[in-house]
Every structure is written in structure tokens, then in C-alpha cells.
Chain A
């Protein structure tokens, strides 16, 4: 009467669609949770999943049911000391206690609805509706690399591309087609000869047999002449060039480490860099990151040193830009690489250096990069560099963006602003 079925190998994500629908419906709530999370979390785990909580009333599904008030009688178990007619003060939380199933559904004062989103979803929401600027431009400019992809078979080609299977198949077909007539004839003649030989030796038509022998021999030669493989049997694999959007990017992180940048400021810079890195990571298969830090002179360093070692002294920003230009020329030719740069600084600079920076940017850097974003980590008023950069931005509105960050909570909004999808 019973059938036992093993269903364990059936798909287990039956609820995935419903889950997605739920996430979609509460996108706003989740986005808020995500943006809060970015601010609050420690720098090292920006990319794990996240708990999202939504007020119960927002996710409730309304129905008609009784509200508080009126008269009701409820039965409870576990009487200890009550006697009939006892009057007791109404307990907190109203009504006849938690006893009534219905009342506890109504949801007043209940917790938030809490659930977890995965890392993947977290990033999805984090970078939702953001895009990397100028991606399209680069493709249109025709600066693309190519990849060879298979595109069927052709009759001509170089020997190293012979497709053996295909060639043998056509050869076999050709042999059948050209040899079939002769083979049939041969069979027929052989049968006739058999028949003649079977007759008593005296009455045999020897002449006819000789003629047959000759003809059979001729046919056999003809069949043998059919080549096993002919030149027009050969088939070659065809590969064609397929344009490949440039899938590699390099990200320059430039940070001021002079005495005026304290650890908190550097932390903010780091968060920004991490966001940018995660975002690029979603768009490019391969990303190189170049860390350049500078005070009066610039130095290419590794990540550890970039974020944690500290220097003192003045600031010459142009040194970092010069270095970036050199590295670009040496290792990352703009025709092969998408170049992004994020610069973080408190805006301090030697006064006569700022114009140099502006010039470097406009002439040697901006024409070659996809996007250059500058953030000034500085709660106070703008410094010299900012004013210089304002000119740069006015001239290059597409590739250059700048924002000011004064507090950790600014980072994510500023980031969103910098990469907001722009109406086409």
C-alpha cells in the first residue's frame, strides 16, 4: 500500500522564486539595511551577507479580524489558586492574555521581521543601479581585443586545422558513392561465374568464364583505384575572430599619507577603495590594483603598507600623479586596459603644486582613463587642491568626479553618487 520515494536529489530551492519576490518587494528596506551595514561594519568584512530587519507592520498581510475591546471569555489551562468569582487586574498586553491565537497574530508590539541575505545578494543590493561610467565609449572606440571562436567547417585551410572526423566522414561517403555501381556489378558477375562453375566440367562455357574473369579483374582494379582519402574530402576547422570587450581593468589607489591624514581618515579612504574594488570586481574578470601613496614623494607599495604605515611631512600631490602616469605607460597601456583611479586626500597640498596637478590630470591622465574619482576626506572647508580640481572637472565632466567625505556615513552615499547610472 505504501510507496517510499527518495526525493532528496530533487531540487531543494523550490522557494527561491518566492524568496526573490520577497526581496524585490522589500528592496527599499533592504537597500537601507545594506547602506547602514557598509557604514557600520569593520573594513575587513564588507562582503559577507547581512541581516535585514523590516518592521512587522510593513510585511504584514492585513485581514479582517477582531480588535481589542468588547466582551470575551477565554479558557486557560493550569489554574492554581483562582476560585469562581475572583476579580483580578487586567494583565499588561491587554485582553485575556496571550491565550487567544487570533490576538497574538495581530502583531502589535512584535519584533521586527529579520532575515538574512547572502553575500551575493548583499553585493547585488549594494551596487544596484550603479554602473561604471564610459564602458560603452571604450567599446565603440574599437579598442578591443579579439578571441578566436569556432565557427563550423570549411573546405580549405591550413593542415594543422584538419578535422579528421569530418574528413573521414566525407571520404567514406565519397567512396560509397563512386564505388557503389562497380561493386554491384562485381557482385553480379561473381554470382554468374559461380553459377557457371557449378555446372559439370564437360558442359562448362569456358569462354564465358574467361570473359567474366577478365571483367571481374577490371572491376576490382577500378574499385581499388578509388582513393581512400582525396583532397576534396578534407575538412578544416574554422575559427573566426570574435571581438572581445576588454575585460581587464586596473585600479589605481592614490592616498595621501602625510602627517595631516590621521588613521580615521585613512580608514575612510580604505572603505572607499574597497567599495570601488568590489564594484570593479563585478564588472571585470581581471583586476590589477596599484597602490600609490605619497607625501612629498610618491611610492608604489603593497596593500599592507598602503593602509597601515604612517609618514609625516608635507604633501606634494603631483608626485603621485606623475608616478601613476609612469606606471600607466610602463605596464598598463590604455589601449589594453580599462583604467580607473581613486584618489583620497585631505586636500592639503603645496600651493604651487596644485596647478601642476591640474595640468598633469588634464593632459596626461584623464584622456587615457575610464574614470577618475577624487574624494576629499575633510570635515572642514575645501583646500587648495579642491579648487584646482573644480576646474578639471568642469573641463572633463565625463571622466572626472569629485566629492567630499566628512564622516564614515558619507562614504556609501558618495560612492553611489559617483557611480549613479546616468540617464542616457
Chain B
């Protein structure tokens, strides 16, 4: 084959970036990768650290916690404890990806393939992203959020806004709708966002006559409980019902909630998303190599980096910190391809539907219609369980020893797969806390219920979070943690110390909220 290398040195130029990008785009199109247009931004290492610490938001409002993030990134980078991840990609349309100027040409090509064609097509194709986020509007919304919060700071003081954001951040994980099926998005979202701007204008008008506290609860007095059904989205409930919040405060609660919701799909698809992107940078660049477009040295550098990324340390390694989503995702994607192309007897028995099918179609199907939990439940093969040598450990705090319940053998595959999948179920990992009742005719106190799963209690920090809840609700807040039907522990915003196993009716106004 005639070889026409795109480049032979490791230096990159803007012209080269363009030619690599179009070469990769051409191969990607052959594999039916459907992407948003790409906006590739070349930035310096310092800028990368900035991008890092804004938790993936290209435009972020100001808050001390991002400063903390920045300082820790900066420290780690300075000490060489951490190489900067070579890519940050933003789920937006056009899809923004950052390239670091320090990187070599092979690394830039790797990032382009990984982010601009891998992640990008995932953002565009996966059902969670399609239904929950709107790539067209996110940048606009973030810009709006930033300037809105900035205006609030000017009007109400930085400290006031900061403490409010602290409280919202504490509840950020409880600002998403988990179970509710998503509504059709684009048009609806558009209108919502429009409305939020109107609310903003309204709030400015309200400034003049907002002396009367909003009393939304009155009309619901005939019901026994408010809300009638327990509600899981705490921030939403607070935004709509907290008695004393001012309009601008509600808007900020809403902003945090919206951003939490925007990131929710990413949290649910980490393995798939990284696996998909890693699979494609590997496949696309290998194709380019096979076609004689890139040199061996180039490929070697890519493979070195690739191998590092997909390394899974065993559980007893000092480097072990859980399952590496790149390793798991990449291997599962590769495995699906293998099962389609060269199925073994075992594969045919386990995956009758797609063993021997068209691999590209199957892979696209998997990418579009699953999230980590269901993806693992559906596609994790016995071969991979063997390759990873997965085993399950059962830990019961009432027993002195922990038990190995399943290993990678015939009996274990199914259970391991189920248990493994449930490990990626976010609603299992986070305590189940719901709004239970508001004492609308009495002291306006808010009561939350926590239902323990497998006897797992709340962490001590819960008491701290109660203070934040109180700051938002502005009346007493009670949290009751149930083990089965028994009250296990209750927390209250008005108590200094939490009392165990007894319900306290502390009517004192909560003085401490800081």
C-alpha cells in the first residue's frame, strides 16, 4: 500500500490539526458516527486548569468551592502528582473540546478522535442526553446563570449569595428528577428557559412590593399532608414551596437544580461514555494506521497513552481506587465487537440475540439505548468477568468477617453481573431521602424521611446538611431516618446535637444556621 503520512514529527501546527481532524472525520463517517459540529479550542495548561476547576462548565458562576477545586488541581499539577487529563469535552452544540498546547501531535490526534468523535457522538446519540439535556441551549443558560448570579451579588452582597449557593450545593444531588419519565424536551425546555427569564424580570418588579410573604400552602390546607405524595426532588420542592425565599433566591435554587440535572446523565453513563470514546479513538486511529496515514512512531505513542488509560489495577494494588471506567467501558465495547464477529459457544448461549450480528449496528444500539446500569446488566459477558477476575464481597457490620459471595465461575457470573450493575445505580448509592410533610397549619416545619436500604445509615455530615436545609426553608426542618418501619435516628435543624431514637418536638426557633 502506498503510504502518505499526514505528518512525521511530533510537532503540531494548526494546518496539521485540520488535516488530522478531517482524516479522522472521514473515517468516523464510515463508522456512522453522528456528531454535533466540533469546536476545537487550543488552550494552555493554565487555562486547562481553569477549565478543570469549573467542573466542566465552560462558563461558570463564581463560588469559593471552584476556587478550592482550582487550588487542589494546581497543587497536584505543580507537584507532578497528576498529569492534566488531556481532554475536556462539553456537551453542547457545537461540541466544545479543549486541546492542550503542550501536547504532541499524536496526543492531539488522540484527543480529537476521543473527544470530538467519541464523546461527541455519544452526547448526540444516547437517550439520556437526548431526553434530559439540550446541547443547543446549555451555553446560553450558563451565561444567563452566571450573569444572573453576578447581579444578585451586586444587589444582595457576595456573602448572602455565597451562603445560599453553599446550601444549594449541599443538596445538589437531591435536585434531580430520578424516576419521573422525562418530558419531551426541546420545545418544553425552551419555554422553561424563557419562563425563567421572565421570572427574573418579574422578580425585579417584585422588589418593590415583596413585603408580604408568599403563602402558597393555604389552599392545600384541606389535605392531610403536604405534599400529598412524598417528593424526591428536594431543591425543586424548596424552589416552589419554601415560604420565605425571595424571588431571586428561588431563581438561584433553580439554577443549581438545572445544572445538577444537566450533569445527571453524565453521572449515569460514565462507563459507557468513556468506553465508547476510548473504543473509538482506538478504532479510528488504528484504521488510519492501517491505511498508512500515520507512522509507527505516532501509533506507538498513542498506544502507550491508551494502555495507561485502560489499566485496571487489581483490588490489592496500592493504585486501586475502584473500577476504572475507561478500562471497563473500553473492554466491554471491544467485547461486544468480538461477540458479534467471532462468537464462542458460550457467547451464543449467553447472547443469542446479538452473537454473530453486525457489530457496528449492535454497538450503536447499545450506545443509544442504555445507561451504565442497564448496559452492564445487558452486555457484561462471562469472558470479561473472567478477564477482570471480578468477585463480590459481602460486608455486614453485624458480623466479624466479610464474606466472598461470588467469584468468576459458572455459578457466579449472573449474580456478579447483577450486583455489578446495581453498583452503577445512582439511586442505590445515594440515600433515599424524600419530602414527607410540611406542617402548614402549625409551625411550618418541614419533615423529610430517609428510608434505609440494607440498614445503611446516613453519614455524620447529615447534621451539617440540616443547617443548609434550614437556611433554605427558614423554619425548622426534621429528618427522620427509618430502618424498616422503625425510627432509627432523627435529625433536626434546631438541635445542636442529634438525639438518637427519640422524636423530639423542639419548638425553639433555630438560632444556628451558619
> A and B, one complex?
yes
Within 8 A of A (CB), among B314-334: 314-317, 320-323
Given A62-B464, A96-B402, the answer on whether A18 and B43 have CB atoms closer than 8 Å is: no
In the complex, the answer to whether B401 meets A82 with C-beta atoms within 8 Å is no
Q: List the one stretch of B45-53, B338-346, B357-365 in contact with chain A.
A: B45-53
Would you call B430 an interface residue if the criterion is a C-beta within 8 Å of the partner chain's C-beta atoms? yes
Would you call A225 an interface residue if the criterion is a C-beta within 8 Å of the partner chain's C-beta atoms? no
Would you call A100 an interface residue if the criterion is a C-beta within 8 Å of the partner chain's C-beta atoms? yes
Task: Enumerate chain B residues within 8 angstroms of A25, measured Cβ to Cβ.
Answer: 64, 162
Would you call B396 an interface residue if the criterion is a C-beta within 8 Å of the partner chain's C-beta atoms? yes
Given A6-B14, A22-B68, the answer on whether A1 and B404 have CB atoms closer than 8 Å is: no
Within 8 A of A (CB), among B442-493: 450, 452-462, 464-465, 468
In the complex, the answer to whether B430 meets A64 with C-beta atoms within 8 Å is yes
In the complex, the answer to whether A14 meets B54 with C-beta atoms within 8 Å is yes
Within 8 A of A (CB), among B1-60: 14, 17-18, 21-22, 25, 35, 37-44, 46-47, 49-51, 53-54
Q: Which residue of A lies closest to B162 (CB)?
A: A21
Q: Which residue of A lies closest to B313 (CB)?
A: A78
Would you call A17 an interface residue if the criterion is a C-beta within 8 Å of the partner chain's C-beta atoms? yes
Against A, the Cβ 8 Å flags (1 = close, 0 = not) of B395-412 are 111001111111111011
Of A15, A61, A73, the contact of B419 (CB 8 Å cutoff): A73
In the complex, the answer to whether B14 meets A4 with C-beta atoms within 8 Å is yes
Would you call B227 an interface residue if the criterion is a C-beta within 8 Å of the partner chain's C-beta atoms? no
Of A15, A80, A89, A101, the contact of B54 (CB 8 Å cutoff): A15
Within 8 A of B (CB), among A83-128: 83-91, 95-102, 104, 106, 113-116
Given A2-B38, A69-B455, A77-B314, the answer on whether A83 and B401 have CB atoms closer than 8 Å is: no
A-B contact pairs, 23 of them (CB 8 A): A2-B21, A2-B37, A4-B18, A5-B40, A7-B43, A10-B47, A15-B70, A17-B67, A21-B64, A22-B68, A68-B459, A70-B453, A70-B455, A77-B315, A77-B389, A78-B314, A79-B389, A79-B408, A83-B407, A84-B406, A87-B401, A98-B320, A116-B75
In the complex, the answer to whether B396 meets A64 with C-beta atoms within 8 Å is no
Given A2-B38, A78-B316, the answer on whether A68 and B407 have CB atoms closer than 8 Å is: no
How far is A350 from B174 in the complex, measured between Cα atoms in Å?
76
Would you call A74 an interface residue if the criterion is a C-beta within 8 Å of the partner chain's C-beta atoms? yes
How far is A90 from B399 in the complex, measured between Cα atoms in Å?
9
Task: Enumerate chain A residues within 8 angstroms of B21, measured Cβ to Cβ.
Answer: 2, 4
Within 8 A of B (CB), among A1-46: 1-8, 10, 12-15, 17-25
How far is A83 from B395 in the complex, measured between Cα atoms in Å?
16
How far is A67 from B457 in the complex, measured between Cα atoms in Å?
6
Would you call A71 an interface residue if the criterion is a C-beta within 8 Å of the partner chain's C-beta atoms? yes
Min distance, Cβ B71 to any Cβ of chain A, angstroms: 4
Which of B22, B53, B67 gathers most chain A CB within 10 Å?
A: B67
In the complex, the answer to whether B404 meets A62 with C-beta atoms within 8 Å is no
Q: Chain B contact residues: over half helix, strand or loop, or mixed?
A: mixed
Min distance, Cβ B95 to any Cβ of chain A, angstroms: 9
Would you call A66 an interface residue if the criterion is a C-beta within 8 Å of the partner chain's C-beta atoms? yes
Would you call A60 an interface residue if the criterion is a C-beta within 8 Å of the partner chain's C-beta atoms? yes
Would you call B312 an interface residue if the criterion is a C-beta within 8 Å of the partner chain's C-beta atoms? yes
How far is A69 from B454 in the complex, measured between Cα atoms in Å?
9
How far is A96 from B316 in the complex, measured between Cα atoms in Å?
12
Would you call A331 an interface residue if the criterion is a C-beta within 8 Å of the partner chain's C-beta atoms? no
Q: Which residue of A lies closest to B47 (CB)?
A: A12
In the complex, the answer to whether B322 meets A99 with C-beta atoms within 8 Å is yes
How far is A83 from B464 in the complex, measured between Cα atoms in Å?
42
Q: List the one stretch of B165-173, B194-202, B205-213, B249-257 in contact with chain A.
A: B165-173
Would you call A75 an interface residue if the criterion is a C-beta within 8 Å of the partner chain's C-beta atoms? yes
In the complex, the answer to whether A70 meets B14 with C-beta atoms within 8 Å is no
Q: Which 6 A-B pairs give the minimum distances between C-beta atoms?
A: A78-B314, A22-B67, A70-B456, A18-B67, A67-B459, A62-B464
Of A5, A64, A116, the contact of B433 (CB 8 Å cutoff): A64
Residues of A within 8 A of B (CB): 1-8, 10, 12-15, 17-25, 59-80, 82-91, 95-102, 104, 106, 113-116
In the complex, the answer to whether B404 meets A85 with C-beta atoms within 8 Å is yes
Given A5-B41, A77-B312, the answer on whether A21 and B67 have CB atoms closer than 8 Å is: yes
Given A2-B116, A14-B47, A63-B461, the answer on whether A73 and B42 have CB atoms closer than 8 Å is: no
Task: Enumerate chain B residues within 8 angstroms of A86, measured Cβ to Cβ.
Answer: 403-404
How far is A388 from B203 in the complex, measured between Cα atoms in Å?
68
Against A, the Cβ 8 Å flags (1 = close, 0 = not) of B289-324 are 000000000000000000000001111110011110
Which of A77, A89, A98 gathers most chain B CB within 10 Å?
A: A77
Given A66-B459, A77-B390, A84-B407, the answer on whether A71 and B397 have CB atoms closer than 8 Å is: yes
Task: Enumerate chain B residues within 8 angstroms of A97, measured Cβ to Cβ.
Answer: 315, 320, 393
Of B18, B72, B395, B431, the contact of A66 (CB 8 Å cutoff): B431
Q: Which residue of A lies closest to B409 (CB)?
A: A84
In the complex, the answer to whether A88 meets B388 with C-beta atoms within 8 Å is no
Task: Enumerate chain A residues within 8 angstroms of B72, measured Cβ to Cβ.
Answer: 113, 115
In the complex, the answer to whether A78 meets B461 with C-beta atoms within 8 Å is no
Min distance, Cβ A69 to any Cβ of chain B, angstroms: 5
Q: Which residue of A lies closest to B62 (CB)?
A: A17
Which of B320, B406, B423, B461 gathers most chain A CB within 10 Å?
A: B461
Would you call B94 an interface residue if the criterion is a C-beta within 8 Å of the partner chain's C-beta atoms? yes
Task: Enumerate chain A residues within 8 angstroms of B49, measured Cβ to Cβ.
Answer: 15
Of A7, A18, A66, A90, the contact of B401 (CB 8 Å cutoff): A90
Task: Enumerate chain B residues within 8 angstroms of A22, measured Cβ to Cβ.
Answer: 64-65, 67-68, 70-71
Would you call B101 an interface residue if the criterion is a C-beta within 8 Å of the partner chain's C-beta atoms? yes
Task: Enumerate chain A residues within 8 angstroms of B391, measured Cβ to Cβ.
Answer: 75-76, 79, 82
